[in-house]
A and B are shown apart, each in its own frame.
Chain A
Amino acid sequence: MARFDTLNTAWMVWDSPAPAREGAVLEYTRELEKFLAEIERRAFRMAQVALRDADDALDVVQDAMLKLTRNYASRPSAEWRPLFYRILENGIRDLQRRRTVRKRVMTWLPGPKQDPDNEAQDPLENVADAAPAIPERLMQAQAMQQLEESLRALPPRQREAFMLRNFEGMDVAETASTMACSEGSVKTHYSRAVHALREKLGEVW
């Protein structure tokens, strides 16, 4: 069966006789599932780097998946990736804003102060792993942790440009489409991000 790029194309096939119609809808669903399966883990890690919390990261990824399938699945499949990451970044920013507001409110309230970022932290995460860690793996994990902390210290647009270009492997044009800015801005954000990260990590990396 011929591959189709949009849901409208699928509907055109849907207007054809029943066996072809069912096959087209099935193919469309498979294509969407394949796309989500390909990107979900990277998207989750990128959200986790930005939010520093697995549950929050999972929430924003799920929300982005829902919004994409509900509102933008009819777009050509080539547009899915930039659209998905734009939704994801908006979700991350919304959550960070809410956290900032919550933090401000908490400082005004009487009683013991709590760091909202650590509210959902699982105590088991702090328990040391019983299995002996392989030194190389441990060094890699430490290096990644340092990279994550440095990324969090970057301005949001620089962090976004770095993660999309470097982690997700997008080219400049696709990154610009995702970030809704010019290609020149992407290059500037990315270059500044690399410079800042190298400056910060230079000594330990």
Chain B
Amino acid sequence: MSEQDNDTFEKRSRALFQDSVEGLDFALRSRLTQARNAALESAATRRPWALGWKLWTPAAGVTAAAVLGVVLWMGSPLHHQAGVAEAQSSFEDLDLLASSDEGSADAMEMLQDDIDFYDFADKAANPGPAA
């Protein structure tokens, strides 16, 4: 059997097969189209699962990070210490006013001089709207 004969045989068998494919009747073609559509539909119905996973993962990550941040901030020792220090400072100021030997007028004057500083300090400690 020569190579040329093989080549002729291969071409003929390919052509016969192609003819048989093109000769498929309408009913079979229709059933194949239905099968294809069913497969594509099946793939499309599965996709939302992947989509949901894809969309919700970043959102869940951001939420978890936010919750963790709030918990850490609320529970941090710095947060508590700041509150204690603020209370102590108020008592010290009252004590200073009450224990002044030269009367309360001097003390009030001293406070007037530094009013801008206290105003700044208050704004820095409470960045919200001024009370």
Residues of A at the B interface (CB closer than 8 Å) are 11, 14-15, 25, 29, 32-33, 36-37, 40-42, 44-45, 54, 58, 61-62, 65-66, 68-70, 73, 140-141, 143-144, 147, 166-167, 169, 194-195, 197-198, 201, 205
Contact = CB atoms under 8 A, between A and B. Distances in A.
B42 A45 contact: no
> Which among B32, B42, B46 has the greatest number of chain A C-beta atoms within 10 A?
B32
Interface in B94-119: none
Nearest to B44: A29
11 contacts: A11-B54, A41-B32, A44-B28, A58-B28, A65-B38, A66-B39, A69-B43, A73-B43, A166-B17, A198-B9, A201-B9
Chain B binding site: helix, strand, loop or mixed by DSSP? Answer: helix
Contacts of B20: 45, 141, 144
Contacts, number: 93
A41 B35 contact: no
Q: What 4 A-B pairs have minimum CB-CB distances, sorted nearest first?
A: A65-B39, A69-B43, A62-B35, A144-B16
Chain B interface size, as a band, is 20 to 34
A33 B40 contact: yes
Given A70-B46, A144-B17, A194-B9, A14 B32 contact: no
A54 B1 CA distance: 35
B42 A69 contact: yes
A70 to B, nearest CB: 6
Nearest to A148: B20
B40 A197 contact: no
Given A61-B32, A144-B16, 18 more contacts: A14-B54, A15-B54, A29-B40, A37-B33, A40-B36, A41-B29, A58-B31, A58-B32, A65-B36, A65-B39, A66-B42, A166-B14, A167-B13, A167-B14, A169-B14, A198-B5, A198-B6, A205-B9
